[in-house]
Structure 1
Amino acid sequence: MSSALFVALVLPLLAGVHYYVWLRTVRDTTSPGSWWRRAGTALIVLLALLLVAAPPGERALPAPLATAVGWPGFTWMAGIFYLTLALLVGEAFRPFLLRARQRRPAGDTEQGGPRTASVTGGEHASRPDSPVRASAGQHGTSRRMFVSRAVALAAGTATTAAVGYGAYTALGPPRIKHITVPLARLGPEAHGFRIALISDIHLNVLVGRSRTRQLVDLLNGTEPDLVALVGDLVEDADVADQGRAAEPLADLRAPHGAYYVTGNHEFYSGAEQWVRFVSGLGLRTLRNERVALPGFDLAGVEDASGAEHDDGPDYEAALGGRDRDRAVVLLAHQPAQVTEAARYGVDLQLSGHTHGGQLWPFTHLTALANPDVAGLSRHGDTLLYVTRGTGFWGPPVRLGADPDITVVELASPRA
């Protein structure tokens, strides 16, 4: 996104959302001039500044400072999103809570004392400075503040629970999933061939070398025949910044090796530098090409975003002129690339990119832009499997979209 577009569209939206959150969680729950109001206002402003600073800070700030800004800034992205949703839900309950607080026994006043003629009518009740009117106004303010505090507390508690659980999920080890995929043209010698599929590691200022080491150990533990990394190894970073974090990939172990294709974030970062670096770690990058393996062909194409850099997918180079009696498995970062894959008679496409939506309700909305968000689906004669990936973009939070590594076991009807 260009800087001008960000300033023109995103900043006003963020300012409006933060103002709404301040109204409901600070102004409506505290007294004017109180220490709590000043502290709450300062906290909202600080979090807003950290949120805006975190994305550019990944590349512009020294690593320790980028990490210090990134943790609260990126986490607050999820925090303000869910807090805003929770407060909006609270708006529906606010009128009922206010009316409930106004109800009192028929024989009582707002203060709990007996009703008398002197306080329900007459000249004193009609005077603007009447104690009765003042008391009613004070209690009205008290009711509103009580309800505001109750709604803010409930919204804050729900948000903390959602973001906390989501961070635990995102930063914890991914699930190991197993799926068996029959391919009609698969040679009998490839029956039971196991591909360990991983995607969207997204190395960044929040996760680094230790995370890669954890993932490599998990991949090796599945004892695959081949490892496939289908893009977005990094999140908008140069090799100079995140190369060391990727180094444990050199320890991947599989009889038929480890293969890699680019994702959109590699092109945001400079794909050439990462292709060279990953090749130096022992992974083979499939750049619009294919290789013959026992019983099937393995092909890989560049990410679709590479077209903007004159380095996009070339399906003819990767899939044209092949033996149509052999099955072909295609590595392509984005599920949407299955449209071209189907045209070329691909048996199985393995993809990532979606993160499974990463954050509810985007777990459902992501389906609007992708032929599939996660799991196995059929598109014509082509099967598509989409992994939710192991990393995250932006907030270190996953809610409703657990990270995963998938072991895809190929099955031949001729075995």
Structure 2
Amino acid sequence: MIFALIVVPVLGLFFGVHRYLWCRLVRDTTKPGSRLRGVGTAAAFALPLIALAALLSGPAGVPFPVQQILAWPGYLWLAMVLYLTLALLAGEAVRAAGLWALRRREPAEPDPPATAPAAPAGPPGPASPSPVPSRTPTLLPPGTPALPPPATPPRRLFLARAVAAGASLAATAAVGYGTATTLRGPVVKRVTIPLAKLPRAAHGFRIAVVSDIHLGPILGRAHTRRVVEAVNSTSPDLVAVVGDLVDGSVADLGPAAEPLRELRSRHGAYFVTGNHEYYSGAGQWVDHVRELGIHPLENARTALPGFDLAGVNDITGQTEGAGPDYDRALSGRDPARAVVLMAHQPVTIHDTVRFGVDLQLSGHTHGGQMWPFTYIAAATNPTVAGLRRYGDTQLYVTRGAGTWGPPVRLGVPPDVTVVELASLRA
């Protein structure tokens, strides 16, 4: 029942938006019965169905090659729908102003002809009945073609086409730029974070933080290679992979993850699960990243020179009885040593504070990925991106290296962040 209450309005909104797009991009810009209108109408039916198929093919267990075929047009169209709708809504003001101007310039309809003057009186004759206008519609002879509907005035048609063309150009430019930003790979960011308990010997320790790689039907082996090259270019002391590595099974995405074997750092690479691992089979991926030479931290801790590194499972694992366990990850540690915690979602920061963690490294938000979803991400996460302090605990959130859904990033490019730890005693 709850599922239906959610799905029905969402589908209604989805198809309602497509109806609006058809009206503004097809109906208002083409002539009835024209080939362009036919093609536009067919596309208005096909594209939303392809997008839905791309969204549902993974959960439905569709063969992976078919998922890949559906993913590019389906997910890119979802991004186009967003920016076409925003651009057309902005264009409504232009449209309204143009129609107002056209109404002022168009001539008014002519007044009906005046009644003819009465004929001069003639010799009296038999009275004739006054003519009564017939209310019976005039019937056309058989075989006479029906009259076409009145044509759209040329100036109004030009205005509709101008608004549609401007919106289409703006949306295409936004999606194209966002796709190119994604496919260029992550940029390297650097941030220095002082830790009060960090000894002088560990001053300058560099952690390459990467999250939300999201290997799937769109982002594959080439994307992994770009991420690995970005990480290795920083020559880090340690690599922290903070969840959401994949969107799919090991059978489908194992080859795409293979370049992770080439990660290089002095103290190795570590991994914690994200919510998408639990959608994809977390157990199989924990085992597979271990085979790739990456150390999973499942509610566990390891000692490194100068500080402890801990990791907790993502909160989505609670549905499988494998959620975050802070007691298991942090109990028995020396409180005099600094501890850095890997936790996928920043919303866990309030639990982290209670356990006296010095620094939490997170991802999950993608920085919002595409404007205006940045506002939604800000409303649902304590920190969307960057560094923030919560009491004695600091939280750093990376924007992630990949994308979920449309391979589009607008305003928030992907990143790998080099966190350099600083000792106050140095």
Report the Cα distance in structure 2 between the residues aligned to 1:202 and 1:140, rounded to whole angstroms: 49
Q: How does 1:218-233 map to 2 (within 5 A)?
A: 218-233=230-245
Distance change in 2, residues 1:221/1:69 (3 Å): same
Amino acid in the other structure paired with 2:178? G
- Identify the residue that residue 65 of structure 2 maps to in structure 1: 64
Q: Is the 8 A contact 2:204 2:421 kept in 1?
A: yes
Q: How big is each residue's C-alpha offset from its partner over 1:305-352, in whole Å with a ceiling of 9 and x where there is no partner?
A: 111111000011112232111110000000111111111111110000
Contact 2:178–2:410 (CA<8 Å) still a contact in 1?
yes
Residue aligning to 2:360: 349
Mapped contact 1:98–1:143 kept (Cα < 8 A): no
User: For residues 103-122 of structure 1, what are the structure 2 equivalents within 5 Å?
Assistant: 103-104=104-105, 120-121=110-111
2:31 corresponds to which letter in structure 1?
A: S
Do the aligned partners of 2:186 and 2:226 also contact (CA within 8 Å) in 1? no
Residue of 199, 202, 226 corresponding to 1:214: 226
Q: How far apart, in 2, do the equivalents of 1:349 and 1:356 lie?
A: 17
Cα separation, 2, equivalents of 1:266 and 1:124: 81
Equivalent residue for 1:10? 10
Deviations 1:239-289 (A, max 9, x none): 001011111111111110000000000011111000000001111000111
- 3-12 vs 344-353, which moves further: 3-12
- 1:283/1:141 Cα in 2 relative to 1: closer, same or farther (>3 Å)? same
Where does 1:38-77 land on structure 2 (aligned, <5 Å)?
A: 38-58=38-58, 60-77=61-78
* Other-structure match for 1:128: none
The CA deviation string for residues 120-151 of structure 1, in whole angstroms up to 9 with x for no partner, is: 556189xxxxxxxxxxx968633332221111
Letter in 2 for 1:232: D
User: What's 2:169 paired with?
Assistant: 157
Distance 1:364 1:14 in 2: 20
* The one of 157, 165, 171 aligned to 2:183: 171
* SS of residue matched to 1:414: coil
- CA displacement 1:47-105 (0-9 Å, x = unmatched): 1111000022235333332212110000011110111111111122222111223444x
Q: Distance in 2 between matches of 1:145 and 1:396?
A: 35
Aligned to 1:32: 32
Equivalent position amino acid for 1:398 in 2: R
- The 8 Å contact of residues 314 and 343 in structure 2, kept in 1 or not, is answered as yes
Aligned residues of 2:187 and 2:230 also touching (Cα < 8 A): no
Higher helix share: 1
CA distance in 1, matches of 2:21, 2:329: 51
Distance 1:331 1:11, change over 3 A: same
Aligned length: 392
Q: Which runs of 5+ in 1 are unaligned?
A: 126-136
Taking the TM superposition and a 5 Å limit, the aligned residue runs for 1:299-318 are 299-318=310-329
Maintained 8 Å contact 1:102/1:143: no
Normalised by the size of structure 1, how large is the TM-score? 0.90
Match of 1:188 in 2: 200
Structure 1 contact 57–70 (Cα < 8 Å) conserved: no
Distance 2:15 2:352 in 1: 43
Distance 1:401 1:37 in 2: 37
Rounded to whole Å, the distance in 2 between the matches of 1:248 and 1:47 is 34
What are the residue-to-residue correspondences of 1:323-342 with 2, within 5 Å?
Answer: 323-342=334-353
Aligned equivalent of 2:86: 85
Match of 2:154 among 115, 118, 142: 142
| TM-score between both structures, scaled by the size of structure 2 | 0.88
Question: In the alignment, which residue of structure 1 is the partner of 2:141?
Answer: none
Q: What is the deviation of 1:197? A: 0.4
> Could you tell me how far apart the structure 1 residues matched to 2:424 and 2:211 are?
29
Q: Distance in 2 between matches of 1:121 and 1:355?
A: 64
Whole-angstrom distance in 1 between the partners of 2:239 and 2:317:
23
- Are the structure 2 counterparts of residues 344 and 22 from structure 1 closer, same or farther at C-alpha, using a change threshold of 3 Å? same
Cα drift, residue 9 of structure 1: 3.0
Partners of 1:124 and 1:317 in 2: CA distance: 96
1:144 and 1:303, CA in 2 relative to 1: closer, same or farther beyond 3 A?
A: same
* Partner-residue secondary structure (3-state), 1:312: coil
AA partner of residue 244 (structure 1) = P
Report the AA paired with residue 194 of structure 1.
R
Aligned partners of 2:8, 2:48: CA distance in 1, in Å?
17
1:7-35 Cα deviation digits (max 9, x unpaired): 52322221111111101111111111111
Q: Distance in 2 between matches of 1:69 and 1:124?
A: 66
Structure 1 or 2, whichever has the larger Rg, is 2
Q: Separation in 2 of the partners of 1:39 and 1:7?
A: 29
Q: Percent identity?
A: 57
1:328 and 1:41 mapped to 2: Cα distance? Answer: 59
CA distance in 2, matches of 1:212, 1:334: 22
Q: Which residue of 2 aligns with 1:99?
A: 100
Aligned amino acid, residue 82 of structure 1: Y
Q: Decide whether aligned partners of structure 1 residues 290 and 123 sit closer, same or farther in structure 2, where only a CA change above 3 A counts.
A: same
